[in-house]
Amino acid sequence: MEDTPQKTVSTPQSATALPIQDTIDELKQLYPVARYDLDFTTPLDLLVAAQLAAQCTDKRVNSVTKDLFQKYRRAEDYVAVPMEELAEDVRNTGFYRKKAKQIQAACQYLLLVHQGEVPQTMEELVKVPGVARKTANVILGSAFGIVDGIIIDTHVGRLAQRFGWTQQSDPVKIEQELMRQLPREEWLSLAHRIIYHGRAVCMARNPHCEQCTLAQQCPSSSLHVTQ
Partner DNA sequence: CTCCCGATAT
Partner DNA sequence: ATATCAGGAG
Work out the angle at residue 26's Cα, subtended by the Cα atoms of residues 203 and 192, and round it to the nearest 5 degrees: 55
Interface with DNA (CB under 7 A), residue from 129, 177, 179, 181: 129
Buried b (16+ CB within 10 A) or exposed e, 162-174: bbbbbebeebeeb
Half-sphere exposure of residue 50, counting CA atoms within 13 Å on the CB side? 28
CB within 8 Å of 89: residues ≥ 6 apart:
64, 67, 68, 71, 100
CA Rg, the chain, in Å?
Answer: 19
Smallest gap from Cβ 13 to DNA, in A, equals 18
Q: Known binder of ligand: residue 107? A: no
Smallest gap from Cβ 56 to DNA, in A, equals 5
> Site mask, DNA, residues 9-48, x = CB under 7 A?
---------------------------xxx----------
Size, binding site for DNA by CB under 7 A: 45
> Site mask, DNA, residues 191-220, x = CB under 7 A?
-x--xx-xx---xxxx--------------
> Site mask, DNA, residues 72-91, x = CB under 7 A?
---------------x---x
Give the integer Cα–Cα distance in Å for 152 and 87.
27
Query: Quick one: the chain helix, strand, coil %, rounded to 5?
Result: 55, 0, 45
Contact by Cβ (8 Å): 40, 49: yes
> Site mask, DNA, residues 146-165, x = CB under 7 A?
-------xxx--x-------
Contact by Cβ (8 Å): 204, 6: no
Q: Is 92 in the site for DNA (CB under 7 A)?
A: yes
In the bound state with DNA, the residue whose beta carbon lies nearer, of 16 and 57, is 57
In the bound state with DNA, the residue whose beta carbon lies nearer, of 19 and 97, is 97
Give the integer Cα–Cα distance in Å for 13 and 17.
10
In the bound state with DNA, the residue whose beta carbon lies nearer, of 1 and 145, is 145
> Looking at this protein, which amino acid is placed at residue 103?
I
Q: Which residues bind DNA (CB under 7 A)?
A: 36-38, 50-51, 53-58, 60, 87, 91-92, 94-99, 102, 129-136, 138, 153-155, 158, 171, 192, 195-196, 198-199, 203-206
